[in-house]
Amino acid sequence: MSLTPGDIELFESALTPAILDLAWRYSYRLSKTREDAEDLLQDALAHALTRIRQLRDLTRFRSWLMSIVRTRFLMQRRRNTAEDFVIHDREQDLSQRLADHSLDTESDILVETTRYALQRLADEQREILSLFYIDGLSLIETGEVLSISQSAVRSRLFRARGALRRELSQLSPAGLIGLLQEGL
């Protein structure tokens, strides 16, 4: 498919700095390394640019791009299934940072504990919580990115919040859980 100057102009007008930042953060969360995230985002942006004419409603560009990032990630992961994936030991990292006092405030501890608990969740649960709560996508947009209905988004969010609460209850003192439950 050949690109026209109009395609490039349309793509550049739709790709705002906020949407690019959102796509970067999502790519980084999916990839877990900066280099892989850069490759994923570049691949997704190139793919989106070549398919911009397929997008009928530019107001849906944000969720459309996010779904492309997700699809490209899943395609890359399928291609790499023969490779061994090394999982960073976040539990040791968290314990070490607590012991070194590099987490000074309750807020720092809360953020790191929550981040660690999120990493322990199933990919599907982590992804839906991240899209909805961290990236601020609506129920409809989250459904579009994940190719599921709005009611399925609600149901999965409910289960993912429960799983996150269970993880946090195993990691944190009761006071911390109380603070987190207010937000969830």
- Mean predicted confidence (pLDDT) in 122-142: 91
Residue ranges and CATH numbers for the domains of the chain are 5-79 (1.10.1740.10), 90-183 (1.10.10.10)
Model confidence pTM above 0.75: no
**pLDDT tier at 1 (50, 70, 90 boundaries)?**
low
Can you tell me the distance from the alpha carbon of 33 to that of 105, in angstroms, rounded to the nearest whole number?
27
| pLDDT tens per residue, range 28-44 | 988 878 999 999 999 99
CB-facing half-sphere around the CA of 122: CA atoms within 13 A: 9
Query: Is the CB of residue 63 less than 8 Å from the CB of residue 144?
Result: yes
**pLDDT score, position 104:** 55
CB-facing half-sphere around the CA of 88: CA atoms within 13 A: 8
Q: Which residues contact 80 (CB under 8 A, 6 or more apart)?
A: none
- Mean predicted confidence (pLDDT) in 111-120: 79
Q: How far is residue 66 from each of residues 103, 122, 151, 170, measured CA to CA in Å?
A: 32, 20, 20, 32
Q: Which residues contact 118 (CB under 8 A, 6 or more apart)?
A: 126, 129, 130, 164, 167
| pLDDT tens per residue, range 65-97 | 999 999 999 888 877 654 444 344 444 454 454
Q: What's the mean per-residue pLDDT of the chain?
A: 81
- Mean predicted confidence (pLDDT) in 108-125: 80
Can you tell me the distance from the alpha carbon of 96 to that of 79, in angstroms, rounded to the nearest whole number?
35
**pLDDT score, position 105:** 63
Can you tell me the distance from the alpha carbon of 144 to that of 140, in angstroms, rounded to the nearest whole number?
6
Can you tell me the distance from the alpha carbon of 38 to that of 32, in angstroms, rounded to the nearest whole number?
11
| pLDDT tens per residue, range 142-166 | 999 999 999 999 999 999 999 999 9
Higher pLDDT, 181 or 21: 21
**pLDDT score, position 73:** 92
